[in-house]
């Protein structure tokens, strides 16, 4: 009997060590900044790109460099492109997981063409901003609102601000929408947002590694709570969108396997009026603009026309 208990104790101990090691590995993959093997890096401009002209414009356009210090002491940076003509309208444009402001050039061009000033932040731990943990939108939500406050300080109290994001940036914007915020924020646009960090990381564990949620996702969430200050269930766009009462436009591709379009449907169902949902046929993750650049611009322009005359 003693041998049996000893054997069980050793097995349980080994399993605990293996699980803890695996949890640290997945914390490194999901939360710590750095290159990710499951993300394709496409820095080089190609003339065959349907958004080549927009991206080329952003590379060459003069930019002002803004910065701010987050509530937890991180130096965050952003690029600011003023509109051709003086305006009170500004779009804050947020990138996705392990992205950067440089990767959002096509979206900056879209809003600039619509007559907006454009501010493009580097999320904490990404691009040129400081940090050692990816926030999955939850840590970023207050950073976005602080960028909006800086727009108001610099451009005046008559500012009219649009909050736009893709993927993780979209989720962060949805999360920001549920927080107390300046009245100068007029509307939100979220392209391919996830419902929560818990749901998205569970989805990715299944998609990339064929792993069930239990026990790794809760363990990684616990490590994230200890080391980064938030849990996956806290980073919940579904809860936040219910507290939002500003116009919101949700966009998702029907062929998206990275963040399933059903997540946008769930967010839309929880949102208050006024709200709009566009499910883009045959579009994969954040490729709606690539597939339908003219229609994408038209849809956003039409949505904003109602709220920023």
Q: Give the whole-angstrom CA distance, residue 77 versus residue 95.
A: 13
Q: Give the whole-angstrom CA distance, residue 128 versus residue 239.
A: 30
pLDDT at 13 over 90: no
Chain-centre distance for alpha carbon 153: 24
E strands of 36-184, at which residues?
A: 64-69, 75-81, 89-94, 117-121, 160-166
Other CB atoms closer than 10 Å to residue 251's CB: what's the count?
A: 26
- What pLDDT digit, counting tens, does each position of 231-287 carry? 999 999 999 999 999 999 999 999 999 999 999 999 999 999 999 999 999 999 999
Torsion over CA: 93, 97, 98, 104 (sign): negative
Q: Give the whole-angstrom CA distance, residue 291 versus residue 284.
A: 9
CB hemisphere CA count around 239 (13 angstroms): 10
Q: How confident is the model at residue 4 (pLDDT cuts 50, 70, 90)?
A: low
- What pLDDT digit, counting tens, does each position of 72-96 carry? 999 999 999 999 999 999 999 999 9
Domains of the chain: 51-196+235-305 (3.40.50.1820)
């Amino acid at each position: 009997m003693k041998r049996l208990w000893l054997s069980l104790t050793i097995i349980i101990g080994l399993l605990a060590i293996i699980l803890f090691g695996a949890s640290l590995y997945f914390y490194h993959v999901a939360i710590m900044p750095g290159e990710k093997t499951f993300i394709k890096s496409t820095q080089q401009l190609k003339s065959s790109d349907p958004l080549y002209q927009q991206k080329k414009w952003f590379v060459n356009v003069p930019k002002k460099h803004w910065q701010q210090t987050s509530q937890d002491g991180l130096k965050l940076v952003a690029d600011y492109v003023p509109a051709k003509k003086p305006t009170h309208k500004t779009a804050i444009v947020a990138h996705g997981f392990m992205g950067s402001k440089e990767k959002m050039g096509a979206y900056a061009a879209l809003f600039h063409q619509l007559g907006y000033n454009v501010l493009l932040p580097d999320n904490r731990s990404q691009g040129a901003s400081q940090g050692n943990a990816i926030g999955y939108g939850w840590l970023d939500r207050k950073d976005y609102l602080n960028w909006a406050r800086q727009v108001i300080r610099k451009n005046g109290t008559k500012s009219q601000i649009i909050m736009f994001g893709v993927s993780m940036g979209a989720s962060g914007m949805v999360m920001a929408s549920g927080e107390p915020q300046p009245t100068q924020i007029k509307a939100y646009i979220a392209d391919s947002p996830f419902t929560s960090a818990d749901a998205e990381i569970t989805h990715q564990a299944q998609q990339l590694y064929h792993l069930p949620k239990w026990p790794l996702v809760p363990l990684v969430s616990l490590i994230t709570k200890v080391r980064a200050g938030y849990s996956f269930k806290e980073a919940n766009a579904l809860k936040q969108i219910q507290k939002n009462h500003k116009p919101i436009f949700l966009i998702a591709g029907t062929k998206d396997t990275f963040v399933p379009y059903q997540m946008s449907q769930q967010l839309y169902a929880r949102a208050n009026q006024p709200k709009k949902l566009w499910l883009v046929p045959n579009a994969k993750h954040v490729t709606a603009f690539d597939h339908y650049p003219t229609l994408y611009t038209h849809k956003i322009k039409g949505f904003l026309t109602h709220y920023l005359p």
